[in-house]
Each structure stands twice: as C-alpha cells, then as structure tokens.
Structure 1
Amino acid sequence: MFKNAGKILKSIGPGMIITASFIGPGTVTTMSQGGAGFGYSLLWAVVFSIIATIVLQEMIIRLSLVTREGLGEAIQELFSNKIGKLMIVWFTLIAVTIGCAAYISGDLIGTSLGASYLLNIPENIVAPIIGVIILLIGLFGNYRFLEKIMIFLMVVMGVIFITTMVVIKPDILGILKGIFVPTIPNGSIITVIALIGTTVVPYNFFIHSTAVHERFGDIKALKFARWDTIISITIGGIISAAILIATATLMNGKEITSVIQLAGPLKPVLGDAAPVTISIGLFAAGLSSAIASPTGAAATISSLLGWKGGMESKKYKYVFTLIIIIGIITSALGFEPLQVLLVAQALNGIILPVIAILIFIIINKKNLMGHYVNTIWLNIIGGFVVLVVSFLGLYSLVDSLNMMIS
C-alpha cells in the first residue's frame, strides 16, 4: 500500500462522491438525535453501516470494471423473461426517481438551514437559490468538476465535525464501549434502523457504477478503485461518528431536532465561531446531498435504459434538470407533503433489498464475473449484509404503510 500511496491518493474520487452523497441533512440529523438520545451506545450501528456500504459498493466497482457495463445493464441481462425484465427495470426506475424527486426539496431546505441561520434569511428564499446553483453545476459541469466539488465538501465536513469532536474531549472509554459492545437501549430500534438506512442508499449503487466508468479504465484499476472506496467511505464513517459523539458529549438526554443546536454548548470552547462553524458544516452536508439526488436519478435512469455518454449526455442532463427544478419549486413553496414522502420511503423500503439481492446474485455469476466472483468469505460477509439491509428495507416499508394508514 505505502509503495503506491501516491497513486492511491490520486485515485480518490468516485468513493468520495458516494460518501458526500450519504452524509446529508438526514444523516446529520439522525446522528445528532442518536447521540443526544442514547449517548455513545449506538456507535456500533454507525460502524456496521460503514462496513455494509463498503461491502456493497465494492461489489459494484468489481462488477463495473469486469463487465464495463452499468448496474442497470447487468440487472437487465439477469432476466431472460421479457416481462420480468420490464417489471424490475421500470419498478426500479420509478422508485428511485420518485424517491429523488420527493427528497430533493428536503435536501435543499436542509442545505439552506446553515445559511439561513447565519444570515437571518428565510429558508424558502435561500433554498431555491442553492437549487439554481446546483442546476448550473449539472448543466455546465462534467464528472471531474462534480468529483472536485464533492471532495471539497468532504474536506469541509471532515475538518469541521472531526475537529469539533476532538476539541470537546469526549469520553474515550465510552466511545470504545459504544463501538465494540453492541447494545439496543429501550426505544432505540427506530434510531438504529435510521442510522444504517441513511448510509446504505439504493441510488448510490448506480452513481458509483457510472462514476467508476468515468474515472477508471478497466479491471487493472480494481486495486485502486477498491482503495478509493475503502478510504472514502471510512472517512465518511468517521465524520458521521464524530457528529454522534459530539452530540452525545454535549447534548446527551436533551431533545434535539438539528445539529445547529450544538452551537450553544460549543460556545465555551469555540466562542462566537461556534454557530458559524456548525452552520458551514451543515451547509456542506446539505449541498453534497442536494447534488446527489438529481445525480442519482439521472445515473439510475441512464443505466437502466442503456443511455450512452455518461454524465455529459443530453438525456442525463435532462433528468438532472427535471429533478432539481422540482426541488427549486417545492422548496420555494415550502411544499413537502407527508404522503409523498411516505410513498417514497415505502418504495425505498422495497427497492433496497431487491437491488441488494440482485447485486449479490450478479456478482456470483461465474460466466459473467470469471475469477472475480465472490470468494466464500465475501459471500458470508456479503450475505449477512444483504440480509440485514433487506430487513431494514422491509421494516421501513412496514413503518411507512402503518403511517399512511394511520
């Protein structure tokens, strides 16, 4: 590894896009609530979510580099029956698109929270402006530009949230216990599911597949693509854990709805810089997630329908534009209907286990993957991850249906 350290660092990119994607307002809020509500005790769930994400995304890069196809194409080739193929392709396409369209308003509002807090400007004014900026990035940028933006946002989040964790001097023994002694305190099961669910995201499989094609040449780059995935997602895990640890240290036992509330307890340490620091961190997390939503929809549709040209194709940009325009309009109107979000969550609850199982099946096809199929150990670890992810997806589906009925 150390011999190729320079090449490994230069290969960092696609994994950072995935990491920047899953650390959004939802993740920041969930980590904050997990730390405030249950202290360090749920850190093991953060660690598991990172391991699960690395395992699944590694399968994606291996599949993409071996076949030189996207995940969507591989899923289509798995089905010989035309009806079955159409059903799975269109269900996945519709589920991911509705999910991205439903969540984009929340992503833009979440991005605007930091700026709104500092500038005292209403969120429904800031959010559409951010949406227009993202639209311009999508229309006139390319893969390399997107990669640089996401890496920059990851650096910003890392510096802010990890530094915050260090300066408040948390309980090291408590942290180690939370990581290595898994517990599920009373009333924490929903939070555990949310901690994992905000990290393992279905559309990230399609984004990663597209990004790998844009960044790496062929299977010879597998070693570097793996290091990119492991390093990037591990950094994301450390940032997520840092948010949970900071709120567990400063806000344990208190009601918390936003990481912005950390600004108060941090003032004795950071002074007047506390609200600025936290607001910038939240803005970076929101912006990365808001960029990822339309990117996820465009990458998924492009892969499933076999569109060529990658992120610079006109069709890709059309989908990106449509999703972000939906976000601009709905965030300006403050329109975030509960029923639409519940439908999106229910669809996500179905699609996550379906896609995870399909990835597991595809990666074990000897005639497709050759000697790059899963080893026995990868099948044991991957099988366990797929089972847990499937359970989480189904639990999310049931929870959404219960809320819609009630």
Structure 2
Amino acid sequence: MGAAFLMAMAAVGPGFLTQTAMFTGQMGANFGFAILLCIIADVIVQLNVWRIIVVSGQKAQVIANELFPGLGYVLSGIVALGGLFFNIGNIGGAGLGLNVLFGISPENGAIIAAAIALAIFVVKNALRTMDRAVQILAVVKVAILIYIIWIMAVPYQTAVQHAFMPTKIDFYSIVTIIGGTVGGYISFSGGHRLLEGGLKGKENIRYVNEGALTGIGLASVIRIMLFLAGLAVVMTGYKLAPSNPAASIFQYAAGNFGYKFFGLLLFAAGMTSTLGATFTSVSFLQSATPQTATVKEEKTRKWLIVTFILFSTAVFYFIGNPAKVLVFVGALNGFVLPIALAILLLAANKAKIVGNYTHPRWLTVTGWLVVLFMTYASINTVINLIK
C-alpha cells in the first residue's frame, strides 16, 4: 500500500490538477476519451514496469545499464531532470495552497512546505513516515472532491457517452495526461518503493499486482472526479480562468468556501508530489550499479534529498511561479515514457536480468502497443506544436 499510495499521490500533484482542469475547459466531455485511454495505458505501464523491477530485484537504472552499458546513466539523467522540473511546480503548488488558506505569500508557503517535506525524510523510519503522510493527504484529496461533486449537477450521461464516442480527439491532451500520470519518474516510484521495502523476486508478483492496480485506481478516481466537477461547471457556459483553471472549478461550485477547499487540495497535492518526486528522483541519482545500503550511502541519500528539495524551493522562490511549465513538463514526461518502457520490456527477456522468469505475453504485447502509441502521439504532438 505504501507503493500504491506513493505512485498515485506522486501523480496527483499541482500539474495533474492544472492539466485536468485545463483540458476539461478546452475539450468539454470529449476529454473523457483521453482519460479512458490514460487509464488503460496506466494499467499496462505500471504492471509491466513494477513486475520487471521487482522480479529483477534491481532499480530501473541498474537494469538499463545491464541491458546496455551507460544506458542507465542516460535514463537516470532524463528521469531526475523531469522530476526536478516537476518538483519546482510541486513545491510552488504547496506554497500557493498555503497562500489560499492563510494569506501568506506563496514564496514563504513554499519554504514551509519544503521544511515539512525535509522533516518527513530525515526522521527515523522515514519511509514509514512518508507512507503515512501520503495516505492521510490522499484521504483529504478524495474527501474534498466528493464534496464538490455532491453539490454540483454533474452531467454523467454526457460524460460517459463522449468517453466512448468522442467527437474530437486531441493527442496533446492524451500525451500530457499519460505523461503526467505514469511518465517520467512516476512510473518507477511504486516499483522502487517496493524494492526499498525489501520485496524482490517473482514470488512477490502478487504485491506488484495489488499495489499497481490500487495506485492506478486511486489516481484514476481522483482524475475522473475532478473532470466531472469541471465538466459540470463548463457545461453551464462558465469559462475557467486560464491562469488557474482548477481554482475556477471550486470557486464556481462553492464560492469562497470552495476556494479555501481548493487551497487545501492544492497543498495536499503539492506535498504528496514533492515526496514522490524527491524519493524517486533521488533513487535514480544515487547509483546506476547494484550495491548494498551502507551507512555512507544512506548519508549520501539524505544529502541528495536535502539538495533536491532546497534547489526546487530556491528556484520557485527567486524565479517565480512555474505553473505555466507544469502542462509542458507533463508532455515531456510523455516523451520519456516510451523510451523507459521499451528498455524494461527488452530487459524482461534477458535471463541475466530476470533469471528464469517468463514475462506474460499479454503484458509484452500491450506494453509494446503503448510504446508505439505514445511514440506516435508524441511525434504528432510535436508536429502540431510546430505548426
């Protein structure tokens, strides 16, 4: 469950809220089709990635290096860089949440959020503390969205109809939300968390299935609820504010009270994604070679965590709100996904990596279909952006 909640809540960050609200405002009910594709792709990606990591008993960058020397360092670089960009938005989002709740400046709010994150990571039994914090914040997010949907007149029939029969398909939205849910560092967060918890080998595959499906289910439920709330607002003719589309949904639904609720949701989203991005990115930065956790390596890990969080906070504090890049970085992670997934699918057939384990054919076939689709959709997105 630690792995499931870490993956789900790493995905449900400020970028997730911004992307979902923005595309709902632009596409209306047709965005339901993108969400449906996203859920299918998420399940395939997570079951593949988590299985191969746990069966091999090695982190993704180690697997990549064993597949082709040096490839692990490249994978570590692009994953950690994407995580860093996202983390600037995560810290900023948490700071903005505190700004909405208490009126303090977003910059000072970011410093408070960073201090809380550091406290969680540096205490004794940090992994357990991180798991509990993420789970509590997940309950807060779901409760807020249930309330918003409860007070809104949600057009469920229209949403379902367009999810299966869209009148418009936008590849940029598909690439962005898949990238924002299982792209970049997020697809590895749960698998690496299982390794940290000591689960290795094919005898632990049942934990992979339970964790991956629970994580995707939780992230998907939150996205669907936010989409339905946004759709209820959009179909009244109300235009979501381009500068903060997610806040518009809550403010329209419940006035100033709803706006305060959004502040709490944004703070929770920023904090959980900060924990997820930091944990996973540092797990890539630590090493791309197999090793045991010595006291020296644990100290290195803590220094990397401190540096990662402080750098993200400093960039937000001195440069300003990076909200505009959150959607772009989601798309960037969508480009990383087919590369990372292809590496692990190739590794699944290497006996020196997975031993006598046989990867299910249906996961292999569907995994490669996701690689091909995301490659095509990413290229299509670039072409349309250039136009």
Give the shorter-chain TM-score range: 0.7 to 0.9
| Structure-1 residue corresponding to 2:348 | 363
SS of 2:194's equivalent in the other structure is helix
Matches within 5 A, 1:30-41: 30-41=19-30
Q: Root-mean-square deviation (CA), in Å?
A: 3.0
Q: CA deviation at 1:324?
A: 0.6
Q: Is residue 155 of structure 2 the alignment partner of residue 171 of structure 1?
A: yes
Provide TM-score, normalisation by structure 1. 0.83
Structure 2 residue corresponding to 1:214, chosen from 192, 196, 213: 196
Q: Is residue 214 of structure 2 the alignment partner of residue 231 of structure 1?
A: yes
Q: Amino acid of the residue matched to residue 15 of structure 1?
A: A
CA-to-partner distance for each residue in 1:156-211, whole Å, 9 max, x for gaps? Answer: 111111332233131121121132224425xx443333222211222124322321
Structure 1 residue corresponding to 2:107, chosen from 124, 129, 141: 124
Contact 2:192–2:280 at 8 Å: present in 1 too? no
CA-to-partner distance for each residue in 1:188-247, whole Å, 9 max, x for gaps? Answer: 443333222211222124322321113353433321331121022111101011111111
CA-to-partner distance for each residue in 1:318-366, whole Å, 9 max, x for gaps? Answer: 2211111111212221346899999978974653322111111112335
Structure 2: stretches of 5+ with no match in the other structure: none
| Structure-2 residue corresponding to 1:9 | none
| Structure-2 residue corresponding to 1:331 | 316
| Structure-2 residue corresponding to 1:352 | 337
SS of 2:29's equivalent in the other structure is coil
Matches within 5 A, 1:186-225: 188-215=170-197, 217-218=199-200, 219-225=202-208
SS of 1:42's equivalent in the other structure is helix
CA-to-partner distance for each residue in 1:81-135, whole Å, 9 max, x for gaps? Answer: xxxx22x222222222322333322211111222212322221121122112212
Q: Is residue 56 of structure 2 the alignment partner of residue 64 of structure 1?
A: no
C-alpha separation in 2, matches of 1:204 and 1:46:
17
Which stretch shifts more, 133-142 or 25-34?
A: 133-142
Q: CA deviation at 1:272?
A: 5.4
C-alpha separation in 1, matches of 2:327 and 2:261:
33
C-alpha separation in 1, matches of 2:31 and 2:174:
7
Matches within 5 A, 1:281-320: 281-309=265-293, 313-320=298-305
CA-to-partner distance for each residue in 1:385-405, whole Å, 9 max, x for gaps? Answer: 1212233444566788x59xx
Would the alpha carbon gap of residues 176 and 147 (structure 1) be closer, same or farther in structure 2, given more than 3 Å must change? same
Q: Amino acid of the residue matched to residue 389 of structure 1?
A: M
Matches within 5 A, 1:96-107: 96-107=79-90
Provide TM-score, normalisation by structure 2. 0.87
Would the alpha carbon gap of residues 282 and 181 (structure 1) be closer, same or farther in structure 2, given more than 3 Å must change? same
Structure 1: stretches of 5+ with no match in the other structure: 1-11, 80-84
C-alpha separation in 1, matches of 2:16 and 2:114:
20
| Structure-2 residue corresponding to 1:114 | 97
| Structure-1 residue corresponding to 2:227 | 244
| Structure-1 residue corresponding to 2:62 | 73
Would the alpha carbon gap of residues 362 and 183 (structure 1) be closer, same or farther in structure 2, given more than 3 Å must change? farther
Which stretch shifts more, 97-106 or 391-400?
A: 391-400
Would the alpha carbon gap of residues 20 and 157 (structure 1) be closer, same or farther in structure 2, given more than 3 Å must change? same
SS of 1:104's equivalent in the other structure is helix
Give identity over the alignment, percent. Answer: 21
Q: Is residue 140 of structure 2 the alignment partner of residue 142 of structure 1?
A: no
Q: CA deviation at 1:249?
A: 0.7
C-alpha separation in 1, matches of 2:60 and 2:80:
16
Which stretch shifts more, 170-179 or 384-393?
A: 384-393
C-alpha separation in 2, matches of 1:30 and 1:224:
30
Contact 1:206–1:303 at 8 Å: present in 2 too? no
